[in-house]
Amino acid sequence: MGGESAGYVRGEGRNREQVAFELAVIDFFVAAADLLGVPKSVAILYGAVFASVEPVGFSDLERRLQLSRGSISQGIRVLREVGAIKPVGGNGDRIERFLPDMELRKIVDRWLVERLQRQVGTGRERLRSLARGIPGGRSASGRELRARVRQLQNWHDKAAAALPVVRGLLKIG
C-alpha cells in the first residue's frame, strides 16, 4: 500500500481492500488539493469521507487517520464551510456524521472562487503599495521593476474580469 498518504491512514483491523481504496482516493484528493492550495490534512479528511459508503463521524476519522484531533476538527470545519461534506442524522444518536457533497461545482465555487475574490479584493491595494515601494528611482532597474509591477497589475485586472465568467461557468455545469 504505497502512495504519498500511506503514512496518514491506519490499516490495522480494517479490510485490506477498503484501506487500499481509501488510500488511493486520499492520494487523488491530496494531489488535487495541492493545485488548489488546500491544506493536505483537509484533503486527507475529504478523501476518507469520500471513500466511505457509510457516514463518517469524528471518532471514525480519528481511528482511521493519523491526524491530530485539532487537525481533524479544523478540517471538518473547513469542509463544512465550503460545502464539501454534509452532516447526516444517525440512528437516534447525537454523534454528528458526514457524507461527501457530490456537487463538485459547489465545492469549486466556494473554495476557488472565494479565494480568488479575496485575492482580487486585497490585491489592488497591495499592488499600489508595491508600486510606491519600488527602489531605484529613474534608473534602469527602477524602470524594469515598474514595468514588472504594471504587468502584475495587468494580471490582477484580468483575474478580476475573469471572476464573473468563472462563476457563470460553474453555474452552467
pLDDT digits (tens, 9 = 90+) for 59-97: 999 999 999 999 999 999 989 988 889 999 766 667 899
- How is domain 6-100 classified at the architecture level of CATH? Orthogonal Bundle (1.10)
Contact indicator for 55, 98 with CB cutoff of 8 Å: yes
For range 128-147, the mean pLDDT: 89
Write out the DSSP string of the chain. --STTGGGB--TTS-HHHHHHHHHHHHHHHHHHHHHT--HHHHHHHHHHHT-SS-EEHHHHHHHB---HHHHHHHHHHHHHTTSEEEE--SS----EEEE---HHHHHIIIIIHHHHHHHHHHHHHHHHHHHT--STTSHHHHHHHHHHHHHHHHHHHHHHHHHHHHHHHHH-
For range 160-169, the mean pLDDT: 74
pLDDT digits (tens, 9 = 90+) for 144-163: 998 999 998 888 888 788 77
Q: What is the pLDDT of residue 94?
A: 76
The yes-or-no verdict on residue 1 having pLDDT over 60 is no
| Domain ranges, ordered by start, for the chain | 6-100, 104-172
